[in-house]
């Protein structure tokens, strides 16, 4: 018999038994604590065996019960003898084995050895439990190819930090409207207030492929530092700040109530409609025609610029930091890479450079799976949009401000199948790298 056989035998529920057993899947905490204490010090069950005994008549049942009363033997019935023909299970401590077996054989009571060594089994089980705990803690077994809940992502953030302590840390930059923490991952190899790159995903909660891409990308950054020369060069001189769930209230709402929710979940005074479009709430062209004044609108700008804590927290962070050199805000869908301006048609002063870099990035993205992106300023590529993240960043000293619209072009739209998460993240990676490398090589 192999350990696997033992375990299979032990998972059988001993429903007739009121006594707790150390080897069933759920055992009382007290017993387990005792077990742990035992295994820490001495080994309690070495050589002990579990015998399966099937009494064939009432006389044998009586004999078995009498055997169990003998205190000197320290016998432990896992399953009490009840009726003839019904098996009972008995744990026999090593010193009592001989005596018990002779007793059973001399009375003609049939038995078989169910567990040859209880301690061995306990050790095996402990090993398996530790392994499974380790697996849960390993970031590489997190399923990147599926969509996760807010709690799962927040839990994974801690896992990532635990697995890359020298490189990644988690900071809280504020709270959402519903008082959820706003977490940002900091990737840094040291220095003091190094020039930094800001990345965000999930500002519009229904764009699920973005949070999922964020998780994959954060993992990639951590894994590839020290292996990929580009990432290593970037992180050796710059810091990266990554907010994966930029709108946690909205994200929770897409899971609990409305999959297609876009905005924040703030209450609007005087209206039954909820939420502000966090990508129309920034103080750049705020209030312009590329946003709505109606709280019921999906592009509602909010009562005033930075009214949303989700937005204000980022504003305060970036201004407080003072050395952010690039900002990339990731959305879906449409397959586009855009830069300022959205609120006016006048070209940005750095138009040429931003445009050339965008072209390179989308070409490298297309090289992976052939996915075609269009690129240009927001207003040229998509439509007029006032109060956007990238326009604000650009007007506050962040020259390299970009926004992505990831897959697809409308076949699935927001409801992108999870099978496309990894391909999307994989192809976007070289585009992100192009931008970050360019920023690193062109300090200003």
Partner 1 sequence: IFEKDSTVNCTAEVLYHLGNKNAAPDVQFTIEGELKNTDEADNLFYNRIKSLKNELVAENIPDSYGNVPPEMEPIRALAWAASGYVIWKNSNENTKYQLAQIKHVKQVKRSDEYLEFDYMILLHENVSQEIIPWQMTVLWHPQHGIEVTQNSRQPKHV
Residues that bind partner 1 (CB under 8 A): 146-147, 254-255, 259-260, 262, 272-274, 277, 292, 296-299, 334, 382-383, 410-420
Select 299 or 309, whichever has its Cβ closest to partner 1: 299
Q: How far is the CB of 280 from partner 1 (least distance, A)?
A: 10
Paired strand residues for 338: 376, 403
Q: How far is the CB of 291 from partner 1 (least distance, A)?
A: 11
Q: Could you give the CA distance from residue 198 to residue 196 in angstroms, rounded to a whole number?
A: 7
Select 171 or 260, whichever has its Cβ closest to partner 1: 260
Q: How far is the CB of 292 from partner 1 (least distance, A)?
A: 8
Phi-psi region of 125 (alpha: psi -120 to 50; beta: other; left: phi over 0): alpha
Catalytic residue selected from 207, 308, 310, 405 = 405
Tokens describing residue 428? 């976007």
Select 177 or 333, whichever has its Cβ closest to partner 1: 333
8 Å CB contact between 171 and 158? no
218, 141, 216, 142: which is closest to 183 by C-alpha? 218
Select 49 or 428, whichever has its Cβ closest to partner 1: 428
Produce one character per residue of 279-292: b if its CB has 16 or more CB atoms within 10 Å, e if not: bbbbbbbbbbebbe
Paired strand residues for 201: 330
Q: How far is the CB of 294 from partner 1 (least distance, A)?
A: 11
SS (H, E, C) 261-308: CCCCCCECCCCCCECCCCCCCCCCCCCCCCCECCCCCCCECCCCCCCC
Q: How far is the CB of 400 from partner 1 (least distance, A)?
A: 26
Q: What angle do CA 93, 94, 97 make, to 5 degrees?
A: 90
332, 330, 354: which is closest to 341 by C-alpha? 354
| Main-chain dihedrals φ then ψ at residue 62, nearest 5 degrees | -60, -40
Q: How large is the greatest C-alpha to C-alpha distance in the chain, in angstroms?
A: 102
Select 207 or 391, whichever has its Cβ closest to partner 1: 207
Q: How far is the CB of 404 from partner 1 (least distance, A)?
A: 16
| Main-chain dihedrals φ then ψ at residue 415, nearest 5 degrees | -90, 50
Residue 124 falls in the annotated catalytic set:
no
The catalytic site residues sit at 405
């Amino acid at each position: 018999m192999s350990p696997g056989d033992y375990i299979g035998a032990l998972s059988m529920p001993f429903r007739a038994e009121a006594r707790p057993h150390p080897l069933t899947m759920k055992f009382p905490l007290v017993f387990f604590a005792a077990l742990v204490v035992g295994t820490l010090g001495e080994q309690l069950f070495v050589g002990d065996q579990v015998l399966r005994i099937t009494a064939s008549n009432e006389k044998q049942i009586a004999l078995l019960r009498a055997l169990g009363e003998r205190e000197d033997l320290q016998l432990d019935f896992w399953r009490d003898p009840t009726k003839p023909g019904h098996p009972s299970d008995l744990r026999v401590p090593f010193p009592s084995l001989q005596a018990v077996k002779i007793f059973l054989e001399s009375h003609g009571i049939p038995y078989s050895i169910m567990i040859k060594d209880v301690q061995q089994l306990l050790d095996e089980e402990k090993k398996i439990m530790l392994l499974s705990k380790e697996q849960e803690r390993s970031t590489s077994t997190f399923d990147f190819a599926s969509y996760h809940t807010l709690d799962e992502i927040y839990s994974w953030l801690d896992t990532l930090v635990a697995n890359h302590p020298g490189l990644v840390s988690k900071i809280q930059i504020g709270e959402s409207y519903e008082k959820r923490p706003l977490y940002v991952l900091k990737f840094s190899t040291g220095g003091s207030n190094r020039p930094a790159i800001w990345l965000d995903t999930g500002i519009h909660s229904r764009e699920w492929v973005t949070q999922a891409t964020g998780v994959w990308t954060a993992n990639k950054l951590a894994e590839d530092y020290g292996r990929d020369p580009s990432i290593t060069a970037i992180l050796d001189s710059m810091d990266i700040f990554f907010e994966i769930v930029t709108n946690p209230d909205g994200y929770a709402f897409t899971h609990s109530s409305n999959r297609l929710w876009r905005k924040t979940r703030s209450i609007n005074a005087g209206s039954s409609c909820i939420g502000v479009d966090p990508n129309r709430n920034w103080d750049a062209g705020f209030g312009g025609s590329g946003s709505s004044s109606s709280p019921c609108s999906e592009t509602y700008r909010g009562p005033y610029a930075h009214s949303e804590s989700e937005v204000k927290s980022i504003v305060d962070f970036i201004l407080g930091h003072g050395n952010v050199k690039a900002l990339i805000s990731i959305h879906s869908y449409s397959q586009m890479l855009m830069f300022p301006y959205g609120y006016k048609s006048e070209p940005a002063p750095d138009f040429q450079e931003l445009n050339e870099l965008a072209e390179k990035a989308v070409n490298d993205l297309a090289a992976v799976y052939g996915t075609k992106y269009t690129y240009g300023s927001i207003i040229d590529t998509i439509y007029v949009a006032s109060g956007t993240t990238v326009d604000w960043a650009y007007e506050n000293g962040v020259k390299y401000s970009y926004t992505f619209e990831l897959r697809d072009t409308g076949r699935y739209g927001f409801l992108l199948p999870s099978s496309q998460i990894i391909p999307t993240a994989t192809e976007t990676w070289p585009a992100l790298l192009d931008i970050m490398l360019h920023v690193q090589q062109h300090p200003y």
